[in-house]
Structure 1
Amino acid sequence: MPRRHRRGTTDTILHGGFNMKKMVCLAAAICLTAGIVSACGGKPSADGGTNAGKSGSAKNTTLTHLTWRVPDTGKGFEKVVGKYEADHPGVKIDVKNVASDQYSNTLKTRLLGGDPPDIMTLGPGTDYTEAARQGYLLDLTNDPMLANIQPSALEAAKVDGKVYGIPYDLVSLVVLYNKKIFKDNGLSVPTNYDEMIRLCETLKAKGIVPVAYGIKDNYVTQFLPYMIAPMAVYAKNSNWDRDLAAGKAKFNSPEWKRVFGVPFEFQQKGFLTPNALGVGDQQSVEMFARGEAAMTFTGTWATSVAKAANPDLQVGMFPFPGNRQGEDNWMNLSLGQILSVSAKSKSLEASKAYVQAWTATEYAQLWTDEAKTMPSVKGVKLAADPAVDELAPYLSKLKSWQFANVGWPAGVSDVYMKKFQEAFAGRATLDDVLHAMDEAATKAAAAAK
């Protein structure tokens, strides 16, 4: 997925091995947790997995947990790690947070340099897949700790039929909106693209910035297009990624011009924050939270960031309506993170015990309540977050697809992000962006032969 939560990217979420059945089941699993449907789930283990957090630890041990998730998960790490250390005297968890745009390279450097973290956070893509295939991750396929994870989430986390980490939460890219601004101006949530354009025009005419948008952090360039791609591309051809790999499809095409053209249309119409290239991801969410814009493009994880900036914020969320009138909208859905144990950890059993604790219902509930994510652990309730609750009806009625770059060849999303920023600055065109992506895909395909 895009990373910075996740939010992400370099190539964290490429080659995820997702398919339509997996995505439908992921959505159903979330709805089950929310009490909407009863499919693709399963009852939690009798003890809720709580015993998992109190076994298998070693005294006087320090474990390193490498992640990028600390800034946007509230007090999630503080609560979970604090409880684990309290439950396991003598065990210390050293959480090392790395900026999301540096995470992939940092992780690869440590793995290749023989200095792996004991536990690492990964996304369901290239980093995870390659690390598993190269023997860096412990195979957990038959480990009892998996029993408390939703089966659909486990299926989405498989590499060549095996599980190398705990698929921990589920996320979606969304539009956050200021409910007070909408109410005060008699506005409603748009249901298609034309309504979205009219909404932004109305806000602009009232002197309100429609969208807080900051792409100084290049991964944010993915958020808006990846909300549109499920409906515009994959709903029409679920095998598009395979066609790209086979040389039968290209990014320089009408459907992808539609997807990637939307941010530039918003820029041209004056719907976005001025000087977006100078505004960072968290800064744009905080600008939204302070009421400096009516909406922002981000992910379900960002409500905790927004509420931290303004506890009184009345925030809602909806999937971006990229659909034209008469078209069905789709939403995106992906695993938020996978917790993996290094196969080369010097404290292997202690590392496994720590990861196992995260699968316990009581630990997972702590995380969910703080991070405001959608849980994949059985028996965990959605966080008491009205904004997340507002997304539940969409999960029950809309089809979904993973983040667009899950199935792209390695390196394509990096090329896209760099070229997108150039185009946004006026130094390249949309055609240049798409042509560069096609060149990167062709290069990756040749290297794979």
Structure 2
Amino acid sequence: MWKPKVWVTALIILFITAGCSDSESSTDGGSGDDTSKTLTLWHIETGESEVAIEDAVKRFEENHEGVNVEVVRQENDPYKTKLSVAMGGGTPPDVFHSWGGGWLEKFVEAGQVKDLSDDIDPEQFLPAALSPAEFEGKNYGAPLAMDIVPVWYNKGIFEKFGLEEPETYEELIEIIETLKSNDIVPFSLANQSKWPGSFYYMYFAERFGGPDLFNEAYKREGRGFDDEAYVKAGEKIRELAEMGAFPDGFNGMNFDTGQSRQLLYAEQAGMIIQGNWMLGTTRNDMPEFEEKLGFFLFPAMEGGQGSKKDIVGGVSPVYSVAEKSENKELATELVKELTSKATAQQLANTDGAISAVKDIEYDDEYVQEISNVLEEAEYMQTFYDQTLPPELAEVHLDTTQALFGLSKTPEEAAKEVEEKAKEVLE
């Protein structure tokens, strides 16, 4: 193997040492000269959404000479654990992704997130998008996009078997039975990470118990997490699992690697319940499949208090600044660029994202259609695992996965969540 001469090695070491010295001497808290500063950004975006984030970073670097942003894309499922470890160890990224809610609140309560109240203009954002990052009258994160969770389906398969978008749950069951009888998986589901199955539980519970159910249980003002509506939700999940509505081994399938989407693309499955990010992901995975992709809202349940216009959704991403950042002012400027109108406009028209930023024009008719659903919604149920405190969210996800796996009864699952809620929320 060829080896450089000693004097070349020494020169390289001298150069690197000088460069490190310059960098270390300039991390002064974000004011003054921007030269030789590095910020870290952690996010979980993929496809066109990731491109929009990278483009925002490029704009930021162009406007801040000498500042470098180290962009780290984390996998969705292990991300929460990694950030919690980094926060607890005192080595967080300067800017990080969140969903607001109880998960962000725990870091806020620990004094680990910068107060952005005086840094961002609330008039730039939709009020519903800001609220998940507001605690005690202060703001700790800027939102970029909002999500809704419809039922996506293969229009070609529906047409082949004479199926139409269902108005009632009974009609949805008929669709499931038709697909099953033709050897097509009704609902593609990869539930190893538990949150994909939570969509079913949230919809069933809301459709039975109505819009006030979750807030009553969460705020401890009325019905609890062991209410009859939650028991019925568990019963419906077990019924679907018992009738074979999901792929074999679905509780062990990995969502991040695309296992559930691939079944849809291969036309081995007819439907999937996922957020509107499904559109952007499809355009990235298999653009030609978009023409076959349709969606409808989860139907109402007979005798239930929820409406078909009540949707499950959330705000993501929300970008926040770590209190321990050595360059908090620069990190705040990065957050502003990440949630700027330019970023939001690009995200809306390339990734199918519903903007949390006001005054965005949707060139994409498909995205406009999804946005209209959000605007016409009568109620939006935010994601349980983002809204609840982490320890309670974990019990919700564990028990819901157990319902799908038929290892817990609906009564046992509801009781377990309610007991944890009494411990955590009261």
TM-score (norm 2): 0.82
Q: Are residues 242 and 151 of structure 1, via their aligned partners in 2, closer, same or farther at CA, if it must alter by over 3 Å?
A: closer
Q: Contact 1:58–1:90 (CA<8 Å) still a contact in 2? A: yes
Distance 1:301 1:57 in 2: 39
Q: Name the structure 2 match of 1:40.
A: none
Structure 1: gaps of 5 or more residues: 1-54
Distance 1:107 1:419 in 2: 24
Deviation at 1:421, TM superposition (A): 3.1
Q: Are residues 390 and 146 of structure 1, via their aligned partners in 2, closer, same or farther at CA, if it must alter by over 3 Å?
A: closer
Q: Contact 2:201–2:400 (CA<8 Å) still a contact in 1? A: no
- Of the candidates 239, 256, 271, which is equivalent to residue 245 of structure 2? 271
Q: Name the structure 1 match of 2:296.
A: 318
Q: Name the structure 2 match of 1:138.
A: 114
Q: Name the structure 2 match of 1:439.
A: 419
Q: Contact 2:151–2:271 (CA<8 Å) still a contact in 1? A: yes
Show the 5 A alignment for 1:177-256. Answer: 177-235=153-211, 237=213, 239-242=215-218, 245=220, 249-256=223-230
Q: Are residues 395 and 324 of structure 1, via their aligned partners in 2, closer, same or farther at CA, if it must alter by over 3 Å?
A: farther
Q: Name the structure 2 match of 1:69.
A: 45
Query: Which 10-residue stretch deviates more, 115-124 or 70-79?
Result: 70-79
Q: Name the structure 1 match of 2:76.
A: 100
Q: In structure 1, give the amino acid aligned to 2:326.
A: K
Query: Which 10-residue stretch deviates more, 64-73 or 364-373?
Result: 64-73
Identity percentage over the alignment? 23
Q: Are residues 156 and 437 of structure 1, via their aligned partners in 2, closer, same or farther at CA, if it must alter by over 3 Å?
A: closer
Q: Name the structure 1 match of 2:152.
A: 176
Q: Are residues 261 and 405 of structure 1, via their aligned partners in 2, closer, same or farther at CA, if it must alter by over 3 Å?
A: farther
- Of the candidates 330, 344, 347, which is equivalent to residue 350 of structure 1? 330
Q: Are residues 413 and 383 of structure 1, via their aligned partners in 2, closer, same or farther at CA, if it must alter by over 3 Å?
A: farther
SS at match of 2:423: helix
Mapped pair 1:259 → 2:233: yes
Deviations 1:6-35 (CA, angstroms, capped at 9, x unpaired): xxxxxxxxxxxxxxxxxxxxxxxxxxxxxx
Deviations 1:295-325 (CA, angstroms, capped at 9, x unpaired): 1111111222223232111212222114227
Mapped pair 1:309 → 2:289: no
Structure ID, larger Rg? 2
Deviations 1:110-157 (CA, angstroms, capped at 9, x unpaired): 222211210011112122112223322221212254442224422443
Distance 1:70 1:121 in 2: 13
Q: Name the structure 1 match of 2:364.
A: 384
Distance 1:424 1:360 in 2: 40
Q: In structure 1, give the amino acid aligned to 2:393.
A: S
Distance 2:377 2:103 in 1: 32
SS at match of 1:120: strand
Q: Are residues 215 and 261 of structure 1, via their aligned partners in 2, closer, same or farther at CA, if it must alter by over 3 Å?
A: same
Deviation at 1:397, TM superposition (A): 5.0
Q: Report 1 or 2 for greater relative contact order, CA contacts < 8 Å, sequence distance ≥ 6.
A: 1
SS at match of 1:187: coil
Mapped pair 1:90 → 2:66: yes
Q: Name the structure 1 match of 2:350.
A: 370
Q: Name the structure 1 match of 2:340.
A: 360
Q: Contact 1:212–1:272 (CA<8 Å) still a contact in 2? A: yes
Q: Are residues 152 and 433 of structure 1, via their aligned partners in 2, closer, same or farther at CA, if it must alter by over 3 Å?
A: closer
Q: Are residues 236 and 108 of structure 1, via their aligned partners in 2, closer, same or farther at CA, if it must alter by over 3 Å?
A: closer
Mapped pair 1:112 → 2:88: yes
Distance 1:269 1:85 in 2: 54
SS at match of 1:438: helix
Distance 2:195 2:53 in 1: 23
Distance 2:225 2:417 in 1: 7
Q: Are residues 351 and 415 of structure 1, via their aligned partners in 2, closer, same or farther at CA, if it must alter by over 3 Å?
A: same
SS at match of 2:165: coil
Mapped pair 1:427 → 2:416: no
Q: Contact 2:42–2:93 (CA<8 Å) still a contact in 1? A: yes
Q: In structure 1, give the amino acid aligned to 2:322.
A: S
Q: Name the structure 1 match of 2:137.
A: 161
Deviation at 1:88, TM superposition (A): 4.0
Q: Name the structure 2 match of 1:295.
A: 271
Q: Contact 1:57–1:354 (CA<8 Å) still a contact in 2? A: no
Q: Contact 1:193–1:323 (CA<8 Å) still a contact in 2? A: yes
Deviation at 1:368, TM superposition (A): 2.6
Deviation at 1:194, TM superposition (A): 0.8
Q: Name the structure 2 match of 1:58.
A: 34
Q: Contact 2:354–2:371 (CA<8 Å) still a contact in 1? A: no
TM-score (norm 1): 0.78
Query: Which 10-residue stretch deviates more, 86-95 or 347-356?
Result: 86-95
Q: Contact 1:215–1:276 (CA<8 Å) still a contact in 2? A: yes
Mapped pair 1:412 → 2:392: yes
Q: Contact 2:100–2:141 (CA<8 Å) still a contact in 1? A: no
SS at match of 1:312: helix
SS at match of 2:302: coil
Deviation at 1:284, TM superposition (A): 0.2
Q: Name the structure 1 match of 2:10.
A: none
Deviation at 1:351, TM superposition (A): 0.9
Distance 1:419 1:254 in 2: 16
Query: Which 10-residue stretch deviates more, 425-434 or 109-118?
Result: 425-434
Q: Contact 1:368–1:375 (CA<8 Å) still a contact in 2? A: yes
Deviation at 1:95, TM superposition (A): 1.9
